[in-house]
Homo-oligomer: A and B are copies of this chain.
Amino acid sequence: MDKKTAVFRKEHFNAAHRLFVPAWDDQKNKEVFGKCSNPNFHGHNYELEVKVTGVPDPQTGFVIDLKLLSDIIKEYVLEIFDHKNLNLDTTHFKNLNPTAENIVRIIYDILRKRIEPKLDLQVRLYETERNFVEYPA
């Protein structure tokens, strides 16, 4: 069994955000981001798919215990993003526009430190059913 296997765990969180580049004024933000830059925010049900790739342990048959992976996601990602305002309640997006592309990279960076280095990691984030992103591609 030398080929690698990928395992996926899906979690979700609900958050408010607005697309906003702090270096620009409200007018320019509105021109570029339209209704997504509403000053009072809007929000999403974010669906998060975390993919971990490696060789399964020969005895347990696990790449990683999905219960453990779920706990890591809950403790390090959902705890800081769920039922929060991404622009106001987190440190990550004080100076970074909370686009799906930026959110998924931040989540990857958080999880990368918590998953064993020998395991590969990729994160997919659904902002809506029709708009989603993946990092690294």
Contacts and interface: CB of A to CB of B under 8 A. Distances in A.
Contact of A38 (B62, B66, B84): B84
A72 to B, nearest CB: 14
A104 B59 contact: no
Interface of A: 1, 3-12, 14-17, 19, 21, 23, 32, 34-36, 38, 40-45, 53, 56, 59-63, 66-67, 82-85, 88-89, 96-102, 104-105, 120, 128-137
B16 A42 contact: yes
A36 B3 CA distance: 26
A98 B43 CA distance: 14
Give the copy number.
6
B130 A88 contact: no
Nearest to A130: B10
A71 to B, nearest CB: 12
Chain B CB within 10 Å, residue with most, of A11, A23, A40, A84 = A40
B8 A133 contact: yes
B8 A102 contact: no
Nearest to A98: B61
B101 A14 contact: no
B42 A99 contact: no
A135 B3 contact: yes
Contacts of A23: 59
A8 B99 contact: no
